[in-house]
Amino acid sequence: MADTRQPEPTVQSAVERMMPSIVSEMEDARKGHVRCIVVTPERAVLDEFAEMVVLPMFDGELGVLPGRAPIIGRLGAGELRLKSAGVVKRYFVEAGFVQVRSNVVTVLTSKAEEATKVTPEMATAAATAAEALPTTNAVERANKAKARDRAQGLKKVAGRNPAVGAVGSAHVVSPGSSPTA
């Protein structure tokens, strides 16, 4: 007959069972959240938790909630949004790549900054610079297309800034939702 006795508990095991560690308390607090990390060549711009992350992909937006299936995608220039407790934090990101895995969204981009720092003048300057680029060969045409996409992303982010939006800029409205004043 096999020995079915349980080992005698130690003080450490009793404490671990009765008093959760700080780490486990932090993990419990983060349940239902997605971690978003934004990295540029210069530095890590962002490392925060949110209930939802909305990414500007090259072909539209991608919303990421906890439990999302893993994905790797191409990021487009535009607005990255972090939604948590009714508060939305906005950032402008340039084209790059994104990986979603185990409730962690990792964004690799050449440039990222808070959306409030983006101005209509920046968007206009980017559009002017894009139009001034030559288009004599395929590489130059591709560079011009990237510059146009960046300018369009800047324009969209600048148009959503409160000071700009109050003047009468157009707001993007998702299908099924209603525009707000």
Q: Please write the tens of the pLDDT for every residue from 107-147.
A: 999 999 999 999 999 999 999 999 999 999 999 999 999 99
**Share of residues in the chain with pLDDT > 70 (%):** 76
- Amino acid present at 62: L
Confidence class for position 48, pLDDT limits 50, 70, 90: very high
User: pLDDT (tens digit, 9 = 90+) per residue, 25-44?
Assistant: 556 556 789 999 999 999 99
Question: Which pLDDT score is estimated for 170?
Answer: 41
pLDDT > 80? residue 164: no
The torsion angles phi and psi of 171, rounded to 5 degrees, stand at -110, 145
Phi, psi values for residue 70, rounded to 5° = -60, 145
Whether residue 70 is predicted with pLDDT greater than 90 in this model: the reply is: yes
* In the chain, domain spans: 31-116, 118-167
Number of neighbours of residue 100 by Cβ within 10 angstroms = 21
Q: Look-up: residue for tokens 């990792």? A: 106
Burial class (CB in 10 A: 0-12, 13-18, 19+), 126: buried
- What rounded mean pLDDT belongs to the chain? 83
In this prediction the pTM is: 0.70
Q: Give the mean model confidence (pLDDT) for residues 45-67.
A: 95
pLDDT number for residue 89? 95
Q: Is the pLDDT of residue 73 over 50?
A: yes
Fold adopted by 31-116: ATP Synthase; domain 1 (2.60.15)
33: left (phi over 0), alpha (psi -120 to 50) or beta: beta
Q: Each residue of 140-179: b (16+ CB within 10 Å) or e?
A: eeeebeebbbbbbbbbbbbbbbeebeeeeeeeeeeeeeee
pLDDT at 163: 62
Backbone dihedral angles phi then psi of residue 55, each to the nearest 5 degrees = -110, 140
- Tell me the β-bridge partners of 140: none
Distance CA 150, CA 97 (A): 15
CA distance 100 to 104: 6
| pLDDT confidence band for 8 (50 / 70 / 90) | confident
The end-to-end CA distance of the chain, in Å, is 77
Q: What is the CA radius of gyration of the chain?
A: 23
